[in-house]
Structure 1
Amino acid sequence: MNPEQARWFSENFANIVGNVERVIMGKTEAIRLAVTCMLAEGHLLLEDFPGTGKTSLARAIAQSVQGTHSRIQFTPDLLPSDVTGVTIYDQKSAEFEFHQGPIFASIVLADEINRASPKTQSALLEVMEESRVTVDGQSYPVGNPFMVIATQNPIEQAGTYRLPEAQLDRFLMKTTLGYPDHEATMRILATGGSRPRSTALPAVVTSQQVAEMAQLAGAVHIEASIFDYITRLVDATRHADDVRLGVSVRGALALVRASRVWAASVGRHFVTPDDIKILAIPCLAHRMILDPEAEFSGVQAVDVMAQVVGAVPPPTERATA
């Protein structure tokens, strides 16, 4: 990536973020993480309370990139075919026809994903990893861009199923929107709380441009010392106190992909240690499995990851060949 391409990338990135901010006010960093996740061709897990704007975020991103949006309300009786689609026999044509499920959209909001049974949750594994659905031996691509924004409520845990580690590892990032601050809340109230605000949001980039940005991000330079820093961070999670299982190699690769997009988003064609520090917690914390005793004592993976980032020194000079 040359400086001109980095400038074009950052301008489009800023346009997307600014457009989404017209709906989700006062949450610039969370929006930047969500857009970074999309351009890194990953998926986002939001653990947040009801009414914080999760649905509006998914819809606003889809409209900003000229894409489609769907929402799946996960419930205990939801079947895998309710997500992926089903093959139905057409008596007129005497053939089986595939009817697409709501997973076939640019931005898919999987609301309260932990309320569905593990069987239904597993229906998302293939499509999240390979961007295609296989039904009755036939594969169907879901298109590009494609991003799943899944949510789970941290308070109401009755009747929920904990996400399996294999599925948590498929999410590039986990973050939270949280409640807006006082100033943002005042601006939201001043609009009258009009519900259709996000329905009229204009597109600021095309789907083709999103695909070009995702491809261009792969050309962002990462120095050998940065790879060493990421490796040391990941290794430190495997030996940290209160951790039963540390971050996998998939997690390290996710951090690499996200850091390239993050660097390009600010007009840089190279990754710095600060980029890794910013993205380490949202990219890696949810991939760690804590000891049961630590969880019972109230230890959280975010806190452990913050300790690891603080303990592992970043590179101060380029690695020599």
Structure 2
Amino acid sequence: MAVFTVSPVVLEIPGRPVDLQLKVSAPTEGESHPIILLSHGQGYSNHLSSLNGYAPLANHWAEQGFVVLQPTHLSSRTLSLPDAPGAPMFWKERAEDMSHIIDRLDEIEKAVPQLQNRLDRSKIAVAGHSMGGHTASLLLGMKTENTSLKDKRVKAGVLLGSTGRGEGLTDVVKENYSFMLSADFSDMTTPALVVAGDKDASEHLTVNGPEWHMDPFHLSPGPKDLLVLEGGEHGLGGVSGYDVAETTDESPERVATVQRLTTAYLHTRLNNTNDWQEALVGVGFRVHSRP
């Protein structure tokens, strides 16, 4: 399916240090498209951590019938806001960005006339990689610092190489990102697919090994699925961009698996299809499910 992109769409948010900018990727045809809010991570590159990143996911999902909305969070290297309240990770503001986008869908439609009357607002999912997974988890019901930012308008989630429990974090994380110490998954009831690489040790973040990225599956209630990618490191084959230098496990085949299975999962959760069950037939990866 052919797609189009519009960028940037600019939303004025009172009290935000800069306007919220987002990229829209959508099919050129069809109606009643589900919506995916895609939250970027915090890699070494400047522009991957912005609306310009994650093309392998955004493009594919749009080709498969979803409208993908990608904000540039305040934590993006492209903004350079080291002294603003909430810096450096702006964990709370990141999640608030996503709820603002849902609040302002009418405004987004007006800014992108090709979207007029083509969104199914009852079918909204959130997805995120790494720190973006933390953001997505907050929308799904995870609490941080005893704060809930759960948005009940979000019906499903995809967590890619996401963050885990507060126990076993490195000293660097404890000193600089203390909000990660209080992760509480006990109210993360919204259905979600957790995707993790079995070689993603993330030693700069945790001493718990690759299993740390699986915590959102094991520690949360409600319908959850876990996909473990054999040989997958933090880049999961290269989901953050095409030919990205910091992808330590570059694999077009692994990215294709992530594309195919996340698409199937989201179609099943949002469109009530059997795509997820059918996609798992013959898959050579560890998949766990909990109703």
| Larger RCO of the pair (alpha carbons < 8 Å, separation 6+) | 1
Query: TM-score, structure 2 length as denominator?
Result: 0.31
The normalised TM-score by structure 1 is: 0.29
In terms of Rg, which structure is larger? Answer: 1
Q: Give 1 or 2: higher strand fraction.
A: 2
